[in-house]
Structure 1
Amino acid sequence: MALMKRWQQILLLALPSLFAFATQTLTGTINLIMVGDLGFVIIAVVGVSNIIMYNVFAIFSGIGHTVNYLVAQNYGSNEMDKGMKRMNMALLISIAVGVAIAVAGTFASHSILRWTGGSATMIASGDYYLELRFYAMAFGIVSFAIHGFLRGIGDTRTSMIVSIFANVLMVALTYGLCYGKWGLPELGVDGAGYALLIGEALQLVICLFVFWVVKHRQFNTRTFYRPEWKELKLILTESGKLGAQEFSMSVSMYIFTVFVLTLGDLAAAANEVSLSIMSFGFMPAFAFGSTATILVGQAIGRRDPNAARKSGTDTAIIGSLFLLVLGTIELVWAVPIARLYSDDPDVYELAAFLIKTSAYLQIFDGLYNFYAGGLRGIGDTTFLMRASLVLSLFFFVPLTYLFVMVLDWGSIGAWLALYTFLTALGLAVMVRYYRTDWTVVRLKEAGM
């Protein structure tokens, strides 16, 4: 009975996050399908831009992840005055970061796209689109911090509603602005960039309304707190470590993409289609990983490390079941799913082959996310950073180079390297989780 109650609590928290992440993933998928009619060069443009923006997001995502676990701990310990001080400082940091991202987009978009090593045609087609993506990210990084706060207090439902609204709007605007529908101008791939920019801007407006208006009565969110150096240092340090963790993975994926681009635009398009489809596996992985952070963090706040450990285990079990079902669907219907993205047989047949290869291997990416979420909940951020840095840059990158550039195994070599890396990372984080001495785990305090 106690087990069923724990699983019910996990699902009540995880399903809204799952729907939110699903909407984000579906938005990217639908957008890619819509721009697919513009040709495989445009597919490659969007794919490469996605990787670039993933890197930008990863560098600063630590702000939202830090808010998430610190607020979860403070919420569990009934110390939300401290949680609000931390949230206010994190919000100011994220706004400053957003401004810096917008400036970088204005002056560096063309150079960054050129550094990917893509063809001259791809660079010319995607220059302004990438600039618009930078502006959208400037808004998105601030919204992510607020979503981190909402999840930290266990309000995954509100976070889901905001995400769904913003992403549905992005899909509609992408269709209208790409192809000139509903009286909107026909802007091609740049229209997709404007759609993301408008959607992210409106999402931030709604997030700020929820934070400053809806949550004010409960948490005094409009109260100004004077920054405390120790707390500010804690947030910057933890954000830096979690950002480095995500960035090491994202930059290795960027290098992975550069290697794939050497195989030609067609291989790049098939790779992007495959990554888009496999991102449906990332969806439950992220959702249940976020749930693990919430439950573990709140249990640590209540000084109940045994419940915290069990929460992480139960979350990993349920999340793995979701991934097994999803992997079966991808394995059986790989070809028709890939054909939704492109009617070019060379593209969809290669993409389907890559999908079948990795259908069940994505369980290891799930293990990484589930147990990393649990480790974030206890503040074990140093290990996460080190494991990610070492395996991403000193294992994944050399392995991809070996399989693609030396052994000349083409796209399949790239994907074998990717999932070998994810398997190693998932197992490493899982072992760390169960080797942790939970009896000595304490709340994260400034100066620790």
Structure 2
Amino acid sequence: MLQNWKKIMLLAIPSLISFATATLTGTVSLIMVGDLGFVVIAVVGVTNIIMYNAFAIFSGIGHTVNYLVAQNYGAGDMKKGIERTYLAFYMCIIFALLIALVGWTMSSELLRWIGGPKSGNLVNVGTEYLEIRFYAMSFGIISFAFHGFLRGIGSTTLSMVIALISNLIMIFLVYALTFGTLGFPNLGLRGTGLAILIGEAIQVAICAYVYFFVLNKRFATRILVRIKWPEFRLLAFESGKLGMQEFSLSLSMFIFTVFVARLGERALAANEIALNVMSFGFMPAFAFGATATILVGQYVGQGKAILGRRAGTDTAILGTIFLILLGTAEFFFAEQIARIYSNDVQVYELAAYLIKISAFLQIFDGLLNFFAGGLRGLGDTTFLLFISLAVSWLLFVPLSYLFIFVLGWGSLGAWLALYTFLAVFGLAVTFRFYRTDWSAVKLREASPH
């Protein structure tokens, strides 16, 4: 068991650092722009939710590359893994252009719809920032596919290094361009958006260099890949399912944010601060979930799926330990943490209250990510799509409306609905993971028809 745990940690820790760096970038950016006022905090929070939705729609491509390449790597058939990755790149470029078009034409309308009757400040302050963030997201979905490939071959350390470089550049530029330091122009919130755009573009450039030059000797990555329609259909179908799964989650969170926005800008700002703090709990959840995908996928490729079940269990145990330790720190230092983001008493007190509620309930989010990661490694994407649609739209959204508006529980009701949803979802995927007939699991192949 100790050998398995060591293997898991060697894969998970670099992923954890990668996600931590991305989260830290968002946190530092939010803290820095927090000095510009609570309206700016609300703009950044709403924009983050919109970006999450934009990313989620197309994130299925990266997730599919991750699990298919993991299976191909385990099976020793990286020629097919490379071909599938190229097909993913073709899809990403097309969708990147679509995302940029949406940002160019619809940014103000999106902010106006979210903010409702009180959207004036959000639209005036945030339209340009949101548009720039859409452009940044166009680069983001391409780099996500690159990282999916790296995780699939178990190269989480290389993925971590790329994330560290790009996110540190991003943090520096946020500081420099937002406040006009070190000889840079003082661009305010616009500067924050430009910093993220530049950082994402640099990340794509680094990923391209690593893929086409560093990894070429090992995997012959510089090849001309023609579209093979059975493989393209497989990639598109799997990407569509995983993308819809992520989108149903993100869109339900989007509606959740719209509900919270109706409580006022201070409530929205407190909600964003609490979500940002709780994202530190999402880090180990995502990192160990990604590790489960890698290990399960590789064992399936080797024809040893039952070992993947053991690896998934060990991954969940280690990830839960991380979440308990993190939740304890968040619970006892909730107010001190919230005051880092804002000096508005109403904002930081409400944020601290929400952080305390979430500190240990985030374990359910961990279960969701650990075992959903394992199911992705199996290729059990249809179940993930259906359960995501069911709990998002038959439970989360109606319950949020009931608790916030009908029962009048405000921000407390919003977060009780959120964690009821995560608990049901997490337990459902855990049950599915252990009810799977692992002896019947096979390598995922494209259908010729």
- Please give the range of the TM-score, normalised by the shorter of the 2 chains: over 0.9
The alpha carbon displacement at 1:422 in A equals 0.2
CA distance in 2, matches of 1:176, 1:126: 19
> Counterpart of 1:333?
333
> Counterpart of 1:214?
214
Contact between 2:89 and 2:145, CA under 8 Å: does it hold in 1?
A: yes
> Counterpart of 2:343?
343
Q: RMSD between aligned alpha carbons?
A: 0.7
Contact between 2:73 and 2:152, CA under 8 Å: does it hold in 1?
A: yes
CA distance in 1, matches of 2:38, 2:447: 52
Stretch of structure 1 that moved more, 343-352 or 115-124: 115-124
> Counterpart of 2:103?
105
Cα deviation code 1:44-101 (max 9, x no counterpart): 0000000000000000000000000000000000011111110110111111111111
The alpha carbon displacement at 1:415 in A equals 0.3
Contact between 2:112 and 2:122, CA under 8 Å: does it hold in 1?
A: no
Alignment of 1:413 onto 2:413: yes
The alpha carbon displacement at 1:105 in A equals 1.0
Mapping of residues 236-275 of structure 1, within 5 Å: 236-275=236-275
Which among 45, 59, 62 is matched to residue 60 of structure 2? 62
Cα deviation code 1:334-354 (max 9, x no counterpart): 000000000111111100000
> Counterpart of 1:27?
25
Mapping of residues 267-306 of structure 1, within 5 Å: 267-306=267-306
> Counterpart of 1:404?
404
> Counterpart of 1:83?
81
Code of the residue aligned with 1:144 in structure 2: it is: F
Alignment of 1:13 onto 2:11: yes
Stretch of structure 1 that moved more, 127-136 or 108-117: 108-117
Q: Match of 2:115, SS?
A: coil
Cα deviation code 1:146-192 (max 9, x no counterpart): 00000000000110001011111111111111111111111111111
CA distance in 2, matches of 1:399, 1:160: 38
> Counterpart of 1:161?
161
The alpha carbon displacement at 1:111 in A equals 1.2
Contact between 2:212 and 2:222, CA under 8 Å: does it hold in 1?
A: yes
The alpha carbon displacement at 1:385 in A equals 0.4
Code of the residue aligned with 1:41 in structure 2: it is: V
Q: Match of 1:323, SS?
A: helix
Cα deviation code 1:214-256 (max 9, x no counterpart): 0011111111121110000000000000001100000000000
The alpha carbon displacement at 1:110 in A equals 1.2
Cα deviation code 1:25-47 (max 9, x no counterpart): 01100000000000000000000
Unaligned ranges ≥5, structure 2: none
Code of the residue aligned with 1:190 in structure 2: it is: R
Code of the residue aligned with 1:68 in structure 2: it is: N
CA distance in 1, matches of 2:306, 2:258: 45
> Counterpart of 1:229?
229
Code of the residue aligned with 2:120 in structure 1: it is: A
CA distance in 2, matches of 1:156, 1:213: 18
CA distance in 1, matches of 2:327, 2:277: 11
CA distance in 1, matches of 2:343, 2:229: 57
Alignment of 1:369 onto 2:369: yes
Code of the residue aligned with 1:397 in structure 2: it is: V
The alpha carbon displacement at 1:117 in A equals 2.3
> Counterpart of 1:47?
45
Q: TM-score, normalised by structure 1?
A: 0.99
CA distance in 2, matches of 1:401, 1:323: 29
Code of the residue aligned with 2:194 in structure 1: it is: Y
> Counterpart of 2:176?
176
Aligned residues with identical type, % of pairs: 61
Contact between 2:230 and 2:446, CA under 8 Å: does it hold in 1?
A: yes
The alpha carbon displacement at 1:134 in A equals 0.3
Contact between 2:166 and 2:202, CA under 8 Å: does it hold in 1?
A: yes
Stretch of structure 1 that moved more, 216-225 or 141-150: 216-225
Cα deviation code 1:294-345 (max 9, x no counterpart): 0000000000011110010000000000000000000010000000000111
Stretch of structure 1 that moved more, 97-106 or 396-405: 97-106
- Please identify runs of 4+ aligned residues in structure 1 that moved more than 6 A: none
CA distance in 2, matches of 1:288, 1:21: 11
- Equivalent residue pairs, number: 446
Q: Match of 2:2, SS?
A: helix
Contact between 2:115 and 2:122, CA under 8 Å: does it hold in 1?
A: no
CA distance in 2, matches of 1:261, 1:107: 23
The alpha carbon displacement at 1:394 in A equals 1.3
Q: Match of 1:361, SS?
A: coil
CA distance in 2, matches of 1:313, 1:281: 19
Cα deviation code 1:279-303 (max 9, x no counterpart): 0000000000000000000000000
> Counterpart of 2:199?
199
Code of the residue aligned with 2:353 in structure 1: it is: F
